Amino acid sequence: MSSIQKAADTRGLAGQTIGDTKVCSVNQTQLIYRGYEIADLAANATFEEVSFLLLEGHKPSTDELARFEAELRDMREPHPEVIKVIHGLARSAPNAHPMNVLRTGISLASHHDPDCEDNSAEAELRKSKRLLASIPAMIGAHQRGLEGKDPVSADPSMSHAANLLWCLSGETPGEIATKVMDVSLILYAEHDFNASTFTGRVIASTNSDLHSAVCGAVGALKGNLHGGANEAAMDMLRDIMDDTTQDSDLTVGAWMTRAFEEKRKLMGFGHRVYKNGDHRAGILRDWGLRYANEENASAKKWFDLGDEVQQIMFEQKNIHPNVDFPCGMTYYSMGIPVPQYTPIFVASRITGWCAHIMEQHANNRIIRPLAEYTGPELSNWND
């Protein structure tokens, strides 16, 4: 096999190991955060505990967790100028993508962070906590601005998940909604060298600052082949529901067959690593369905539709859903606006990003791979 053929077979760095990490392990059957498997964490930990695990490197003691939670509560309000700009963008640029707005908010926050240019381990941990704590208020300020409402102040009495829902809606979330959001944040928190994390590590490897690396990661997550897949998955389900409702002769199976024939990319399915299924998907699907059954019975139709689509994909294409597929149905049943799905992803993945950025800075070498040139042969300019 020639070097060019080899390069073609590994487009997107498929199957290539490009570094070491102590943060996360991903394989066909397991997703592990610093030694703890994801199903164990989803069943037994809170998002705050998982955030501590990722950022500080070990399972927290009772005292450590209390200290960490108190720190986050004290950091929930971004600088007033950040909220002012984000809320203003909702009115002056209502069509701006929420991920662009959130990226702007994070960039603005860097100007008001006293540790911005300090890449020491202590300063980076402080910056990581500030971003983790304050991103829900940024997301909420934008959404409420789009709805013509004033932002609400972050609530220090609530858990991180509950405060996120509060900032979005201005309504105190119930116990089951809080739990579902908490689990979804745990499931999305980390996933080794995915596209956005790798982007953040590349930027960090130049000795750039944490905020710059996070802004780059936000840009990578925005794409519908990465973080935006949960939005695209829900849009697809809405298309199926609308089309089959308007045309009583059109079955879900027929819709899917047409999509296959048109070579339409069906979002929320398949994974580069999990060839036999994403084990996060079943966890989130079960919690989302539980929410629908207990709090919003009318939303159960989305899970029924999702199960049918999932079955057809498996039977005809042998492709399993990834976590983005049930995420769309779950958030939709909770009344969360679809354009905010990926910003909520940021509210979770900020923990993994920051853990990797800190790890990169702690043992750094600039990331600079080689490319295989396939252009024209050498020529003389004057010929």
Instruction: Please confirm, yes or no, whether 150 is among the known catalytic residues.
Output: no
pLDDT confidence bin for 27, thresholds 50/70/90: confident
Q: Which residues, 6 or more positions from 231, have their beta carbon under 8 angstroms from its beta carbon? A: 224, 328, 338, 339, 341, 342
**285-to-99, 172, 281 alpha-carbon distances in Å:** 25, 23, 6
Q: Does pLDDT of 15 surpass 80?
A: no
Concerning whether 361 is annotated as a catalytic residue, the answer is no
What is the number of other CB atoms lying within 10 angstroms of the CB of residue 59? 15
Dump strand ranges (E) for the chain. Answer: 24-26, 31-33, 36-37
Give just the sign of the alpha carbon dihedral 349, 35, 325, 284: negative
Based on the residue annotation, tell me whether 271 is a catalytic residue of this protein: yes
Identify the weakest region by mean pLDDT among 12-21, 73-82, 126-135, 199-208.
Answer: 12-21
Architecture of domain 24-223+340-362: Orthogonal Bundle (1.10)
How far apart, in whole angstroms, are the C-alpha atoms of residue 128 and residue 210? 8
Q: What are the backbone angles phi and psi of residue 264, rounded to the nearest 5°?
A: -70, 135
Q: What region, left, alpha or beta, does residue 58 occupy, with left being phi > 0 and alpha being psi -120 to 50 degrees? A: beta
Average pLDDT over residues 237-266: 93
pTM (2 d.p.): 0.93
Q: What is the CATH number of domain 229-333?
A: 1.10.230.10
For the cut 60, the answer to whether the pLDDT of residue 279 exceeds it is: yes
Angle at 301 between CA 160 and CA 224, to 5 degrees: 55
- Flag whether pLDDT at 369 surpasses 70: yes
pLDDT at 127 over 70: yes
- Domain extents for the chain? 24-223+340-362, 229-333
Question: In angstroms, rounded to a whole number, what is the distance separating the alpha carbons of residues 149 and 139?
Answer: 13
Task: Determine the Cα–Cα distance for residues 314 and 172; give it in Å rounded to an integer.
Answer: 39
Query: Is there a shared CATH topology between the 24-223+340-362 domain and the 229-333 domain?
Result: no
Listed in sequence order, the residues at least 6 apart from 5 whose beta carbon sits closer than 8 Å to its beta carbon are none
* DSSP per-residue string spanning 314-337: HHHH---B-THHHHHHHHHHTT--
| pLDDT tens profile 189-221 | 999 999 999 999 999 999 999 999 999 999 999
Per-residue pLDDT band for 224 (boundaries 50, 70, 90) equals confident
Query: For residue 36, what are the β-bridge partners?
Result: 33
Q: Are 110 and 212 in contact (CB under 8 A)?
A: yes
**DSSP code for 269:** B
Asked if residue 232 lies in contact with residue 268, where contact means CB atoms within 8 angstroms, the answer is: yes
Active-site entry in 226, 235, 243, 307? 226
- For all residues of the chain together, what is the average pLDDT? 93
Of 279, 324, 356, 361, the catalytic one is 324
Q: pLDDT-based confidence at 1, cuts 50/70/90?
A: very low
- Gap between the terminal Cα atoms of the chain: 34
The encoded tokens of residue 79 equal 């600088």
Span 76-91, mean pLDDT? 97
Half-sphere exposure of residue 380: CA atoms within 13 angstroms, side-chain side: 2
Whole-angstrom CA distances from 355 to 16, 90, 299 are 21, 31, 36
**Catalytic, out of 87, 211, 271, 361:** 271
pLDDT 10s digits, 136-157: 999 999 999 999 999 999 999 9
Strands in 1-129 per DSSP E:
24-26, 31-33, 36-37
| pLDDT on residue 256 | 94
